[in-house]
């Protein structure tokens, strides 16, 4: 069992299995190179495949979980949850191209196995499939909810893309502070987590006030998730996290520890960090280690964890205001506490 699996509520695990089985059933019989690439990325075929969806499927599973916790029917929400999962995965395929990543989830990326050009096609196909799976599997559902969910998912998908635009833009800018960073991750990471809880609200017929609380909880959960992810990108163990401990610094990404250090550092350490991050090209291995040493000197590791905990406290307050069942609130609080210390 992976570290992440150990921290997931059993209901959430069962919904992840449902998402995996449903996507495999929908896509498994489709033929052609496009579907070969799509199914490979999802984990349904190719080397290293066990026939199941790879990845955490946390957003789609949370959509079903929230629907049940609010008194709705998760089966009615399933097509929208599958759509959300495919939206997330189209973004990952394109993200691998933009970052020139060669591996994801321990396997060669689509852009490395085929080509960047073909990976663009695979990502585009996943985006279109996110619409088709919802329309195909919602034919017997309530059309009003389907249209509401489609509109919401389109908005969240666009926000996610806008966040990715900012992420790339920030790599070329020198004025990125914590507020700018939060603006970026509120779009890039938080949008689809907000979408998960929004879907739960739609399929449980929640009112506007309830929807706002659910979306706010998803947003704060996204902050926690991304800030911890940034910590893992520097101090995590690759064999546990599945992430390179070098790539974020090598690419000079404005992850939270770096943004905190650039804004809150001082003296020689700050001067040298700016020299490294404002230089041309990627950083070599010796300079990557130097950056890590500077971040330790500025106490960026500790401060990163403190900020994640601060946003989790905000999330808990929002969670208590939602109409989710008590059992769900208890499990989600345990899950959030796990996210603060996850290794994967």
DSSP letters along 114-180, please?
T-HHHHHHHHHHHHHHHHHHHHHHTTTS-HHHHHHHHHHHHHHHHHHHHHHHHHHHHTT-S---HHH
Burial class (CB in 10 A: 0-12, 13-18, 19+), 45: middle
Yes or no: say if 18 and 78 are a contact pair by the CB < 8 Å rule. yes
Which residue ranges of the chain lie beneath pLDDT 70?
1-4, 238-245
Q: Phi and psi of 100, rounded to 5°? A: 55, 45
Q: Classify 173 in phi/psi space as left (phi over 0), alpha (psi -120 to 50) or beta.
A: beta
Give Cβ neighbours of residue 310 (< 8 Å, ≥ 6 apart).
Answer: none
Question: What is the pTM for the complete model shown?
Answer: 0.94
Give Cβ neighbours of residue 142 (< 8 Å, ≥ 6 apart).
Answer: 76
Measuring CA to CA, which residue among 39, 105, 76, 97 is closest to residue 241? Answer: 105
Superfamily (CATH H level) for 3-339: Farnesyl Diphosphate Synthase (1.10.600.10)
């Amino acid at each position: 069992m992976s570290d992440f699996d150990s921290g997931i509520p059993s209901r959430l695990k069962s919904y992840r299995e449902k998402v995996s089985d449903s996507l495999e059933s929908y896509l498994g019989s489709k033929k052609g190179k496009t579907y070969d690439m799509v199914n490979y990325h999802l984990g349904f075929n190719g080397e290293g495949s066990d026939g199941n969806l790879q990845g955490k499927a946390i957003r789609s599973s949370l959509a079903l979980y929230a629907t049940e916790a609010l008194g709705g029917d998760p089966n009615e929400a399933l097509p929208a949850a599958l759509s959300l999962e495919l939206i997330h995965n189209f973004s990952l395929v394109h993200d691998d191209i933009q970052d020139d990543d060669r591996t994801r989830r321990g396997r060669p990326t689509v852009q490395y196995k085929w080509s960047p050009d073909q990976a663009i096609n695979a990502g585009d196909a996943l985006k279109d499939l996110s619409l088709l799976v919802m329309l195909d599997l919602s034919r017997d559902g309530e059309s009003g909810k389907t249209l509401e969910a489609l509109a919401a998912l389109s908005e969240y998908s666009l926000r996610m893309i806008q966040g990715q635009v900012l992420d790339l833009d920030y790599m070329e800018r020198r004025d990125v502070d914590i507020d700018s960073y939060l603006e970026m991750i509120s779009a890039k990471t938080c949008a689809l987590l907000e979408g998960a809880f929004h879907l739960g609200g739609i399929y449980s017929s929640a009112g506007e006030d309830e929807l706002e609380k659910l979306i706010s909880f998803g947003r704060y959960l996204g902050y926690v998730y991304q800030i911890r992810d940034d910590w893992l990108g520097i101090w995590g163990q690759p064999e546990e996290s599945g992430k390179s401990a070098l790539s974020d610094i090598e690419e000079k990404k404005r992850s939270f520890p770096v943004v905190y250090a650039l804004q809150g550092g001082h003296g020689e350490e700050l001067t040298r960090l700016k020299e490294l991050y404002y230089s041309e090209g990627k950083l070599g291995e010796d300079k990557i280690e130097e950056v890590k040493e500077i971040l330790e000197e500025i106490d960026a590791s500790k401060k990163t964890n403190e900020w994640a905990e601060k946003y989790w406290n905000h999330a808990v307050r929002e969670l208590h205001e939602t109409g989710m069942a008590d059992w769900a609130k208890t499990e989600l609080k345990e899950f959030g506490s796990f996210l603060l210390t996850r290794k994967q």
